[in-house]
């Protein structure tokens, strides 16, 4: 019997994503002026207030407030009526030095022997449902959010949009795990109070709310979704059969939102950040952490392995787990699950052993292979860390304490398919 599976995404204006973006913007600022900086930056945001906490070891001083305000304004929180905006919010900082006890386990005389910044397990996942080897549910949920943000920033249509929004996509799968059709799409978007009641009665307010909801629903179906569909591959577009259900702002009204509606905290959207509930997650968040933290770098490495393995034809679906001990360079375990969809005459244990031989999974080697000491992390902090476009871009950093810096960086290096031939040769494919 077929089954349903759902994944959600959130916009860059979601309070947790605001926190993630501030943490990663600060991390990028440190790495731009000190590539050896070690950071673990947490951000908390609520009505009119941002608190920045964590540990940093760096030779450079960074203007935390300027970067934070710039990031919040870029997201779109620029109006006092939102009860949270980049120009007027209070900013408290509680950054202190990284623990010497942790640092001695990470730093080594021989850089290649750099220890893992913490213990834990990290997962990477890939499947062949989409062109970017991501689950179709999550890929579509992310795209809905990105296109909605584009519409908001263009300011030509749906001009009532505010920054906070969420999406959720449910797809029907066959018994064999193959996507069959889109069952349900949920879109909840914050909006201006753009229809005013005719008087102060509850009935007038209800009618005004109903008018707003009708307009938003119509625009989601007739403006947002056609633009989304134009960006879909034929494989995913074929999942729209006309029977899909839409739930748009199901509560009926969404004016109060963003950090004024809910507090935000770095690292609370780890499933949105990764695979939408598919595969597995080790529990470690990404944003605000430099690549010496294997929570981040090893998760990227695991995705890199899984994606290249599926692209090489080893299996239609792969989960890779890496586990580390703090201060130890080599992973304590490498695990592979092919879900019975392997195309090689090997057990999952034998595949895992081959992975260990093909990839150097010491933290320093991961940093080098994926070029992770670049200031490339703000771009990861909304709309997912995985399945994104690998590209080379120019970024400009300014500071009250340093010279203006223009850098060419490579984004999403863990999405490159540059190991496919090596893998095919190793597995005789």
Cα Dmax for the chain: 75
Containing H/E element for 61? none
CB-based contacts of 422: which residues, under 8 Å, 6+ apart?
358
- Residue 364 annotated in ligand binding: no
Supply the DSSP symbol for 342: B
Residue 240 annotated as lining a ligand binding site = no
Please tell me whether 57 is known to bind a ligand: no
Return the number of other C-beta atoms located less than 10 Å from residue 414's C-beta.
26
254 is in an annotated binding site: yes
Distances from the Cα of 126 to the Cα of 29, 187, 213, angstroms: 31, 26, 37
Would you say 424 is a known binding-site residue?
A: no
Integer Cα distance of 41 and 268 in angstroms: 14
* 98 assigned to a ligand binding site: yes
395 is in an annotated binding site: no
Question: Binding site annotation covers 23?
Answer: no
268 known member of a binding site: yes
Find out whether 65 is annotated in a ligand binding site: no
Q: Is 55 labelled a binding residue?
A: yes
Is 293 annotated to bind a ligand? Reply is yes
Containing H/E element for 159? none
Q: Within 13 Å and on the Cβ side, how many CA atoms surround 134?
A: 26
253 assigned binding-site residue: yes
289 is in an annotated binding site: yes
Is 127 strand, coil or helix? strand
Dist. CA 316–CA 339, nearest whole Å: 9
- Binding-site residue set for Mg(2+): 16
- Binding-site residue set for K(+): 42
- Binding-site residue set: 14, 16, 42, 55, 98, 164-166, 253-254, 262, 268-269, 285, 289, 293
- Binding-site residue set for L-methionine: 55, 98, 262, 293
- Binding-site residue set for ATP: 14, 164-166, 253-254, 262, 268-269, 285, 289
């Amino acid at each position: 019997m077929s089954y349903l599976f759902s994944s959600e995404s959130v916009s860059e204006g979601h309070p947790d994503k605001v926190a993630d973006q501030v943490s990663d913007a600060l991390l990028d600022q440190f790495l731009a002026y000190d590539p050896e900086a070690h950071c673990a930056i947490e951000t908390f945001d609520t009505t009119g207030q941002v608190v920045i906490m964590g540990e940093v070891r760096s030779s450079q001083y960074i203007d935390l407030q300027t970067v934070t305000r710039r990031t919040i304004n870029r997201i779109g929180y620029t109006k006092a009526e939102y009860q949270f905006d980049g120009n007027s919010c209070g900013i408290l900082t509680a950054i202190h030095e990284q623990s010497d006890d942790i640092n001695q386990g990470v730093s080594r005389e021989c850089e290649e022997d750099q220890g893992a910044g913490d213990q834990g397990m990290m997962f990477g996942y890939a499947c062949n449902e989409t062109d970017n080897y991501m689950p179709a549910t999550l890929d579509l949920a992310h795209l809905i959010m990105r296109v909605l943000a584009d519409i908001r920033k263009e300011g030509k249509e749906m001009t009532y949009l505010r920054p906070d929004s969420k999406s959720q996509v449910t797809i029907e799968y066959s018994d064999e795990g193959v996507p069959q059709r889109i069952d349900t799409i949920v879109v909840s978007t914050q909006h201006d109070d753009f229809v005013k009641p005719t008087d102060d009665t509850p009935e007038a307010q209800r009618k005004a709310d109903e008018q707003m909801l009708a307009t938003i629903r119509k625009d989601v179906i007739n403006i947002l979704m056609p633009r989304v569909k134009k960006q879909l591959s034929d494989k995913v577009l074929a999942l729209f059969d006309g029977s899909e259900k839409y739930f748009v702002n199901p509560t009926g009204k969404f004016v109060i939102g963003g950090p004024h509606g809910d507090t935000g905290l770095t690292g609370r959207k780890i499933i949105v950040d990764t695979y939408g509930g598919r595969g597995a997650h080790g529990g470690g968040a990404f944003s605000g952490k430099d690549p010496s933290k294997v929570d981040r770098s090893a998760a990227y490495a695991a995705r890199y392995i899984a994606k290249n393995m599926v692209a090489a034809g080893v299996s239609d679906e792969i989960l890779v787990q890496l586990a580390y001990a703090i201060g130890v360079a080599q992973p304590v375990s490498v695990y592979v699950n092919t879900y019975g969809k392997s195309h090689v005459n090997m057990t999952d244990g034998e595949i895992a052993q081959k992975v260990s031989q093909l990839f150097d999974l010491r933290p320093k080697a991961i940093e080098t292979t994926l070029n992770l000491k670049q200031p490339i992390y703000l771009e990861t902090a909304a709309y997912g860390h995985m399945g994104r476009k690998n590209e080379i871009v120019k970024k400009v950093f300014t500071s009250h304490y340093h010279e203006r810096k223009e850098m060419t960086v490579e984004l999403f290096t863990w999405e490159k398919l540059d190991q496919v031939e090596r893998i095919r040769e190793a597995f005789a494919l």
